[in-house]
Structure 1
């Protein structure tokens, strides 16, 4: 689908990235820099993620570390690599939001510690839940650390969607969530910095 869209719209550029490979990250940063030039990067969406079903009886250290590397560590390393481009964009505008410079970490309702009992179906995904909860802390740290640079950072739950990861049991198709997500991104401002939102713009408990 992306290949088809890139053929239809010339402003869509497809770049290959392995988020757990340092050389791949460096390469894609250079490629993005060639595209955006002196304008910098206005919005970085950390969307990479993997999941393995693992209950308490099934979970292993190896599985935990694999999921943590991709879903948590890689998000921070990618963000760190793109910071110069985000800062460049932030210098060209005022306020906070995607119009200036923003980092959107794709999280999950499954990461909410307050709602853990309300979502017992997710108890079989120990690695995924823990990694996403750690990603939420990255969001909080980045929001505080980069506020003086004018760079906004939030965690966003896109909804349970019918994707390769979400599966056919998910209640929503991707097309149903996209308008809401775009609306949320468009409305982001300083008061949302460091927040945990869903695709409808509702605040979620940590």
Structure 2
């Protein structure tokens, strides 16, 4: 993790991972969960026809790379790193693309929380959506 906030939390994550009796990696032990967007997928270029929003896409692609780097850098410390796409959610931004955003914020959050409980070492560094589906980088 970079920056002052990342530096402040890393020792706490390491301590949590080392102090846990639980085997392997999980969100209940120690995890970095970054919220991204499928719009940051280089392979998929999600909903291009609805809005190019290039700076947003580039920032999310960079966050996805950061998560992948965190997964490699902190695996030895037992810290799970994952990036999550919350889905197309009914927010101000979601409506600006189209009024047909299919997910309520509550449904998105419930889905993400369910997915987080299922993640393990095999998911370290993955890019998933609110249903747990692995997304293309």
Shorter-chain TM-score: which interval?
0.7 to 0.9
Give, in whole Å, the separation in 2 of the partners of 1:122 and 1:76: 33
Give, in whole Å, the separation in 2 of the partners of 1:186 and 1:84: 23
Match of 2:27 in 1: 98
Match of 2:71 in 1: 143
Give, in whole Å, the separation in 2 of the partners of 1:166 and 1:194: 26
Give, in whole Å, the separation in 1 of the partners of 2:90 and 2:6: 27
- Listed as ranges, the matches of 1:104-119 within 5 Å are 104-116=33-45, 119=47
Match of 1:21 in 2: none
Residue of structure 2 aligned with 1:201, choices 113, 124, 132 = 132
Aligned length, in residue pairs: 131
RMSD: 1.7
Q: Which runs of 5+ in 2 are unaligned?
A: none
The answer to whether residue 18 in structure 2 is matched with residue 87 in structure 1 is no
Q: Considering only CA atoms, is the larger Rg found in Structure 1 or Structure 2?
A: 1
Report the TM-score, using the length of structure 1 for normalisation: 0.59
The answer to whether residue 82 in structure 2 is matched with residue 154 in structure 1 is yes
Give, in whole Å, the separation in 1 of the partners of 2:111 and 2:48: 26
Give 1:158 shift.
0.5
Does structure 2 conserve the Cα–Cα contact (< 8 Å) formed by 1:110 and 1:122? Answer: no
String of CA shifts for 1:92-134, please: whole Å, max 9, x gaps. Answer: 1131011110000101010111112x52235530110000001
Give, in whole Å, the separation in 2 of the partners of 1:127 and 1:112: 13
Q: Which runs of 5+ in 1 are unaligned?
A: 1-74
Give 1:179 shift.
1.9
